[in-house]
């Protein structure tokens, strides 16, 4: 299994990506210690996040970005009296 140090991997990144996509195992080492394995991204599994799942379920108030009132702002600044 080929192992590349980070400096070499940076210089050869395109070819290492091609190697990983073709099924080769590519290990990148830091200070001669294996650190990461470069593998193809599996589009079928993704990362579990799907856009639009909560469409229509969440609303943002029209004044969402309006300035805070002085009493609320003082709480964020730690100036509020208790």
Mean pLDDT (the chain) is 88
C-alpha to C-alpha distances, 15 to 1, 50, 61, 70, nearest whole angstrom: 15, 31, 49, 57
Supply the pTM of this predicted model.
0.52
pLDDT of res. 46: 61
**Per-residue pLDDT tens over the stretch 35-51:** 999 998 877 766 667 78
- d(CA 31, CA 74) in angstroms, rounded, equals 49
4 and 28 Cβ atoms separated by less than 8 Å: yes
29 and 6 Cβ atoms separated by less than 8 Å: yes
């Amino acid at each position: 299994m080929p192992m590349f140090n980070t400096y070499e991997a940076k210089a050869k990144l395109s070819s290492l990506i091609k190697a990983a996509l073709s099924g080769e195992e590519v290990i990148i080492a830091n200070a001669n210690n294996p650190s990461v394995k470069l593998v193809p991204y599996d589009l079928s599994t993704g990362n579990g996040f799907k856009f639009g799942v909560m469409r229509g379920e969440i609303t943002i108030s029209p004044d969402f970005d309006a300035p805070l009132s002085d009493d609320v702002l003082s709480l964020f600044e730690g100036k509020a009296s208790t």
